């Protein structure tokens, strides 16, 4: 049994002072008001504001190698993609393990306690996937490895270059290899329409959707329907499906996603980095979708930046404030709750630092003031996986993994 006294904590949708949590077998066994007059035994005190662990619903771990380096030339989404392929080409199971472990440690230190890894670099299989699972285990965060089907470089075009390493040839062969596990379709560009039925009934199922206008135009030219309509007509939308980005949608697309209860993962820091555009997140929720966040290309890894990005992007697009409350945004970001029976994931934010002091130490501090650098203590499944003291070491680990990858001395 481990116990913590939380100075302030987000419990049942409100900030409360002095919460005692007891953890057994990686889950909360008891969550109760602490009595300050009675000592709480050996409970360690977590000073600051503690929130539930945050869930990163969309990641490509190897994209961490591109941070900073892809900003040197102006470029487009498509030139960025060429640079991304150049990194992918070099990766081996060993170098991917080192990079992914460091990246997942950065995630843990930033407040993410779980990750959905959208994995399409499956060559040589299964070594690359095993490397990712091992990396997450060592970093201490939970991983859902979404084995991703990638068969074509565009509508009706065969895979080319490094994409050949990712292709199983057909969706049937992909399914034979993957079995019943979590799955992803890279995009409607990457899997021909006549093979999409293979994915019917699978959950969780993730798919990149309408990130770029060019994808919509090509889909309309190839099939006469939008990517959303295509997924709907192939029976692939529903509560077990997560569409990633959902940026350029028609009104009908929003209705189809909402009426089927599909989850939409929005990745604001990637979408702004890649000049994708601003998706209709608020309208998707009004239509019936659930929303999650992801750090995707890891242009930054900062869950607070993703959450406030949802609100700030809407403000810029509409010139109106107050689309989301901080409480709503925290609920979107949290993987669970600080409640009995839930996985014992805790993220403590320092509330006396330069960015957060004097901001009220409440949900608005978490969403509108804090950054990943303000996270002081992270517990995942009852285990401490990162503290502020780890930041320098994680930086060194990233530097080493990336120096090796880019062929430079550390
Ligand atoms: Zn992605």
pLDDT at 164 over 80: yes
- What whole-number distance in Å separates Cα of residue 34 and Cα of residue 278? 43
Centre of ligand 1 to C-alpha 201, Å, is 22
CATH superfamily of 54-336: Metal-dependent hydrolases (3.20.20.140)
What pLDDT score does 289 carry?
Answer: 98
Check if the beta carbon of residue 136 is closer than 8 Å to that of residue 143: yes
Dist. CA 262 → ligand 1 center (Å): 17
pLDDT of residue 39 exceeding 80? no
Q: Could you give the angle at the alpha carbon of 244 between the alpha carbons of 367 and 289, nearest 5°?
A: 70
pLDDT at residue number 170 = 95
Distance (angstroms) between ligand 1 centre and the Cα of 33 equals 41
Cα of 225 vs centre of ligand 1, distance in Å, is 22
The Cα 303–Cα 374 span in angstroms is: 11
What CA–CA distance (Å, rounded) separates 301 from 331?
Answer: 19
d(CA 188, CA 263) in angstroms, rounded, equals 17
Q: What is the pLDDT of residues 285-331, one digit of tens each?
A: 999 999 999 999 999 999 999 999 999 999 999 999 999 999 999 99
- pLDDT tens, residue by residue, 194-247: 999 999 999 999 999 999 999 999 999 999 999 999 999 999 999 999 999 999
How far is ligand 1, taken at its centre, from the CA of residue 345, in Å? 25
pLDDT at 410 over 50: no
pLDDT in tens, 341-363: 999 999 999 999 999 999 999 99
Rounded Cα distance, 275 and 313, in Å: 12
For the chain, residues classed under CATH 2.30.40.10 are: 2-52+341-392
Structure token digits, residue 355:
């960015």
Question: Burial letters for 25-49: b for 16+ Cβ neighbours within 10 Å, e otherwise?
Answer: eebbbebeebeeeeebeebeebebb
C-alpha of residue 244 to centroid of ligand 1, in Å: 7
Question: Residue 297 Cα, ligand 1 centroid: separation in angstroms?
Answer: 7
Sign of CA dihedral 313, 314, 316, 321: negative
Nearest to 21 by CA among 304, 334, 379: 379
Distance 305 CA to ligand 1 centre (A): 17
* Spacing, Cα 15 to ligand 1 middle (Å): 33
Q: In the chain, where does the domain assigned CATH 3.20.20.140 lie? A: 54-336
Q: How far is the CA of 208 from the centre of ligand 1 (A)?
A: 6
pLDDT digits (tens, 9 = 90+) for 112-149: 999 999 999 987 678 999 999 999 999 999 999 999 99
**What is the sign of the dihedral through the CA atoms of 59, 65, 66 and 67?**
positive
Q: Which residues pair with 19 in a beta bridge?
A: 6, 33
What is 2-52+341-392's CATH number?
2.30.40.10
Mean pLDDT of the chain: 94
From the list 350, 329, 352, 343, the residue with the least C-alpha distance to 379 is: 343
| The three-state (H, E, C) secondary structure of the chain, written as one string | CEEEEEEEEEECCEEEEEEEEEEECCEEEEEEECCCCCCCCCCEEEEEEEEECEEEEEECHHHHHHCCHHHCCCCCHHHHHHHHHHHHHHCCHHHHHHHHHHHHHHHHHHCEEEEEEEECCCCCCCHHHHHHHHHHHHHCCEEEEEEEECCCCECCECCCHHHHHHCCCCHHHHHHHHCCCCEEECCCCCCCHHHHHHHCCCCCEEEEECCCHHHHHHHHHHHCCCHHHHHHHCCCCCCCEEEEECCCCCHHHHHHHHHCCCEEEECHHHHHHCCCCCCCHHHHHHHCCEEEECCECCCCCCHHHHHHHHHHHHHHHHCCCCCCCHHHHHHHHECCCCCCCCECCEEEECCCCCCCCCCCCCHHHHHHCCCHHHEEEEEECCEEEEEHHHHHHHHHHHHHHHHHHCCCCC
CA of 35 to the centre of ligand 1 (A): 46
Beta partners for 45? Answer: 5
What pLDDT, on a 0 to 100 scale, did the predictor assign at position 409?
Answer: 45
Question: CA angle, corner 305, sides to 300 and 352, nearest 5?
Answer: 110
Please report the pLDDT score of residue 272 as a whole number: 96
Neighbours of ion ligand 1 (CB under 5 A): 296
């Amino acid at each position: 049994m481990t116990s913590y006294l939380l100075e302030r904590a987000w419990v049942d949708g409100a900030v409360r002072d002095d919460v005692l949590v007891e953890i057994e077998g990686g889950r909360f066994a008891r969550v109760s008001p602490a009595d300050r007059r009675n000592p709480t035994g050996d409970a360690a005190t977590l000073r600051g504001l503690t929130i539930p662990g945050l869930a990163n619903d969309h990641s490509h771990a190897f994209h961490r190698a591109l941070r900073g380096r892809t900003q040197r030339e102006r470029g487009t989404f498509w030139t960025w993609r060429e640079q991304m392929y150049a990194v992918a080409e070099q990766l081996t199971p060993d170098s991917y393990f080192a990079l992914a472990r460091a990246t997942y440690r950065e995630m843990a230190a930033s407040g993410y306690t779980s990750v959905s890894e959208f994995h399409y670099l499956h060559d040589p299989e299964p070594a690359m996937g095993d490397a990712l699972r091992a990396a997450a285990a060592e970093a201490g965060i939970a991983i859902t490895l979404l084995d991703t089907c990638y068969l074509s470089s565009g509508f009706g075009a065969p895979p080319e270059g490094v994409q050949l390493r990712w292709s199983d040839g057909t969706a049937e062969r992909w399914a034979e290899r993957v079995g019943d596990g979590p799955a992803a379709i890279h995009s409607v560009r990457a899997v021909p329409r006549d093979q999409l039925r293979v994915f019917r009934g699978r959950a969780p199922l993730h798919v990149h959707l309408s990130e770029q206008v060019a994808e919509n135009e090509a889909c309309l030219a190839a099939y006469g329907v939008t990517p959303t309509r295509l997924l709907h007509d192939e029976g692939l939308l529903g509560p077990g499906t997560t569409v990633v980005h959902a940026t350029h949608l028609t009104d009908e697309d929003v209705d189809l996603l909402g009426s089927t209860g599909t989850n939409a993962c929005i990745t604001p820091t990637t979408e702004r980095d890649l000049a994708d555009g601003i998706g209709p997140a608020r309208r998707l929720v009004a239509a019936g979708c659930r929303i999650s966040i992801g750090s995707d290309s890891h242009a930054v890894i900062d869950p607070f930046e993703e959450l406030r990005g949802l609100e700030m992007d809407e403000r810029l697009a509409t010139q109106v404030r107050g689309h989301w409350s901080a409480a709503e945004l925290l609920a979107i970001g949290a993987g669970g709750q600080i409640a009995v029976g839930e996985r014992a994931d805790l993220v403590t934010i320092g509330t006396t630092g330069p960015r957060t002091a004097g901001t009220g130490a409440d949900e608005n501090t978490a969403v509108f003031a804090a950054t990943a650098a303000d996270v002081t203590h992270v517990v995942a499944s009852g285990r401490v996986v990162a503290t502020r003291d780890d930041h320098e070491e994680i930086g060194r680990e990233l530097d080493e993994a990336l120096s090796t990858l880019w062929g430079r001395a550390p």
